[in-house]
Amino acid sequence: MGKIKVAALGSDQEDQQRDKRKIQREEKKKREHAEKVHISGMKGGERVKSVGATSEEELDRMAKLTEEVDKDQAEGIKLDEGEKPKRKKKIKIRSNRYKEALMKVEPGKLYPISQALELLRQVSLTKFDASVELHINTSETGLRGQVQLPHGTGKKIRVAIADNTTIDKIVADVEKGKLDFEALVAHPSVMGKLAKVAKFLGPRGLMPNPKNGTISPTPEKVAKKLEGGEFTWKTESEFPIVHQVIGKLSFKDNQLEENFAAFVKAIGELKIKSVTLKSTMSPGIKVQVNN
């Protein structure tokens, strides 16, 4: 038999052994119940960090580290594994042909419309019959009106007439997503039925409206005007800008000049701050309003 250790009751040796065992039990308990702090942005096992339950300084440090990592992720500085960085906005690079065309336009110069149209034909880059566009800065927003260009815009507008004989078919077609027209003129008596598809027509700018004259007791006459080139123009909802096509490059110069004059008159020279003339994909040319 081994030696039997005997300690006197209340002796110093027994007290030391008891204190030692108590400390060991407490240390074991700390290890088993250690707090865990999650660090976002880490991967796998790195996401969880064990910290002693009584280490307040360590907890504060890990909490601050977590906040910094979260902030970096929100700002896009650090990325999770496998996450792709956001694409930077591409800078539009102009072709050499465009740059050569741009050099023909004198910066800041206001060209009379006759000279501007002559120059426009030199700087147009498309091989197809491009549209001729006006981009007009006005003195205020909320401007709108109607105009009929003498020579039209070069585009035939498909106009549908909603009256008592056609309303049911038009509503049925619209509900199926069939929209084979660019303008819709309605008789007042059918507006109740037409309201059923307003959610489809409204966002496309096709809902008849008394402000643009597309609700009329004589819809046939209105449709004829629209087919002949009459249209409603207006500034953008938030900016004093009007964009409008006034013809095609295949038009003669005098036809484009007359269309230009008609559109400027419809807006009013006093309400126009600047006019830029261009064709599809061409540089812009500043145009003199008062000749």
Average pLDDT for consecutive 10-residue bins of the chain (291 residues)? 49 69 73 50 47 53 57 49 58 67 82 92 84 92 87 85 93 90 91 90 86 87 81 86 91 94 93 91 85 59
Q: Which fold has domain 158-227?
A: Rossmann fold (3.40.50)
The candidate with the shortest Cα–Cα distance to 115, out of 123, 245, 280, 241, is 123
Q: Report pLDDT for 94.
A: 67
In sequence order, the 6+-apart residues with CB closer than 8 A to the CB of 287 are: 110, 111, 112, 113, 116, 260, 275, 276, 277
Query: What's the whole-model pTM score?
Result: 0.55
Q: Does domain 92-153+231-291 fall into CATH 3.30.190.20?
A: yes
Distance of alpha carbon 64 from alpha carbon 159, whole angstroms: 66
Q: Report pLDDT for 104.
A: 78
By CB atoms closer than 10 A (0-12, 13-18, 19+), residue 267 is: buried
What are the residue ranges spanned by the domains of the chain?
A: 34-89, 92-153+231-291, 158-227
Supply 51's token pair: 């910290």
Same fold, 92-153+231-291 and 158-227: no
Q: Report pLDDT for 79.
A: 47
Helices 253-267 and 113-123 cross at an angle (nearest 10°) of: 120
Contact 184, 208 (CB under 8 A): yes
